[in-house]
Amino acid sequence: MRPAHEAYVTPDSNAIPAPEGSEPRAAGVWTLTGGRLIIAEPEGPATILVPTEQVRLLAVDLPLSSRAKRLEALPFAIEDLIAEPIESLHLALGDEIAPKRYLVGVVRHEVIERWVDLADAGGLGQAAMVPDALALPQPPEGEWAVDLGETRALVRSGDGSGFAIPAPLLGSAWEAAGKPAALAYGTALPAEMMLGRAPLAPGALALRLLSPALDLRQGRYAVRRLGNSTFWRRLGWIVAIGAVAHTVIAGADTLMLRSIADRRAEETRTAAGLAAPGANLSGDLKATIPDLLPKGGGAKAPDAFLPLLTRVSGALQPLGGALTVRQMAFEGNTLTMDVDGTDPTLAARIDAALRAAQVRATATRSPDGSIRITASAA
């Protein structure tokens, strides 16, 4: 025979209580027995089966259109069914068990507060709380489903409600209810009561508790988070890792952009060095380059001059040691650059270099021996 609060959900022989401060459990059906959480079935949704003796289960008519309105009307609907002050009680609204008729659980605040504290301490703060009588299958109307234990009996009636009673009183309660046909789960019932006997199919309990008819964790006692803290801890790690990865990627992007900027700056210094030998290019190029721009009434904006100068200078870079820039001017779309060099083939080499770089420019030797490079931005 089973101990008092372990009926129908008999734990295996190796079951151990959930230790205080243990890790949250994502799954499993547990019974609350003598202030201890005991595993009943390791699979299924995280659920605590609480003693039905401390929960009054009622079938209440609530012909209202919304859950919010039903919750608002609930205290008035049951005030004639209870003897205690309504403010001392927690009311939980369950499933609709008949048209406009709902299952309701009533438990004292001090009791459910103690249960919530035990659940939190045992790592089951996210678990549903279901009266253990509702772990039995709901029988057809007019019948009972009964789990008879050594000292107590759990009963679920055909209307969806249920109750727990001391085992010696089961027969009297059955007679007072009009001797309904009873289906036994586990221990056999007296012959006059028992309609039949149902096996305890493995996994059936967890399957029924996927959507319990009544979860007492409502209102002020509702679970305040989705899932369990292990899930949130893992999510936190994922977010943190993502943030670190994002930072690393952003840092790599910054280094790459800095490298590109440094390379562009070096290219600009080279071009400016070819265009203005001897100029000081060690400082901020943004402040230095505009001072090197040719002055003239028809000069275009630097955004037209600099790209053309860069292209010409890039083309001439292989010849940098063979020529010296004497002067440079920019007017309209045309860049004019006079260079000196001792190589008699320099003009032809410059012209070939400009054509190879696809720069629209010509190189001609002047009467004074210099070479004039004329390039167009058009």
Instruction: Please check the confidence at residue 269 and state whether its pLDDT lies above 80.
Output: no
Residue 95 counted as domain residue: yes
Q: How far is CA 1 from CA 148, 180, 188, 295, 368, in A?
A: 9, 24, 11, 107, 122
Is 19:222 a contact under the CB 8 Å cutoff? no
The string of pLDDT tens digits covering residues 100-111 is: 999 999 999 999
* CATH code, domain carrying 84: 3.30.420.380
Q: What is the pLDDT of residue 199?
A: 64
The string of pLDDT tens digits covering residues 7-32 is: 344 343 334 344 444 445 567 899 98
Residue 40 counted as domain residue: yes
Instruction: Please check the confidence at residue 346 and state whether its pLDDT lies above 80.
Output: yes
Q: What is the mean pLDDT of residues 129-155?
A: 92
Same domain, yes or no: 106 and 27? yes
Q: What is the number of domains present in the chain?
A: 2
Residue bearing the bigger pLDDT, 250 or 178: 178
Mean pLDDT of the chain: 79
Q: What is the pLDDT of residue 246?
A: 61
Same domain, yes or no: 76 and 217? yes
Confidence of residue 281 (pLDDT cuts 50, 70, 90): low
Same domain, yes or no: 15 and 112? yes
Same domain, yes or no: 208 and 307? no
In which element (H, E) is residue 260 found? helix 229-275
Range with the lowest mean pLDDT among 59-73, 82-96, 196-210? Answer: 196-210
Q: What is the mean pLDDT of residues 216-240?
A: 67
Residue 247 counted as domain residue: no
Confidence of residue 336 (pLDDT cuts 50, 70, 90): confident
Residue 128 counted as domain residue: yes
Range with the lowest mean pLDDT among 127-136, 192-201, 233-242? Answer: 233-242
Q: What is the pLDDT of residue 2?
A: 40
Burial of residue 30, with CB atoms counted within 10 A of its CB: 0-12 exposed, 13-18 middle, 19 or more buried: buried
Here the tokens at position 53 are 């003796």
Here the tokens at position 122 are 């045992």
Domain boundary residue, one of 159, 191, 226: 226
Same domain, yes or no: 83 and 219? yes
Cβ count within 10 A of residue 234: 12
* CATH code, domain carrying 359: 3.30.980
Most confident of 87-96, 293-302, 349-358: 87-96
Same domain, yes or no: 206 and 301? no
Range with the lowest mean pLDDT among 41-45, 48-52, 199-203? Answer: 199-203
Q: What is the pLDDT of residue 67?
A: 94
Same domain, yes or no: 212 and 100? yes
Residue 91 counted as domain residue: yes
Percent of the chain past pLDDT 70, that is, above it, reads 70
Range of the domain at 275: 270-376
Residue 235 counted as domain residue: no
Range with the lowest mean pLDDT among 173-187, 189-203, 223-237? Answer: 223-237
Give the whole-angstrom CA distance, residue 365 versus residue 193. 124
Same domain, yes or no: 111 and 221? yes
Same domain, yes or no: 120 and 14? yes
Is 126:225 a contact under the CB 8 Å cutoff? yes
Residue 265 counted as domain residue: no
Here the tokens at position 177 are 């209810």
Give the whole-angstrom CA distance, residue 60 versus residue 72. 13
Same domain, yes or no: 211 and 107? yes
Confidence of residue 66 (pLDDT cuts 50, 70, 90): very high
Instruction: Please check the confidence at residue 178 and state whether its pLDDT lies above 50.
Output: yes
Q: What is the pLDDT of residue 279?
A: 60
Same domain, yes or no: 205 and 311? no
- Residue 5: left (phi > 0), alpha (psi -120 to 50), or beta? alpha
Residue bearing the bigger pLDDT, 24 or 112: 112
Residue 16 counted as domain residue: yes
Same domain, yes or no: 203 and 310? no
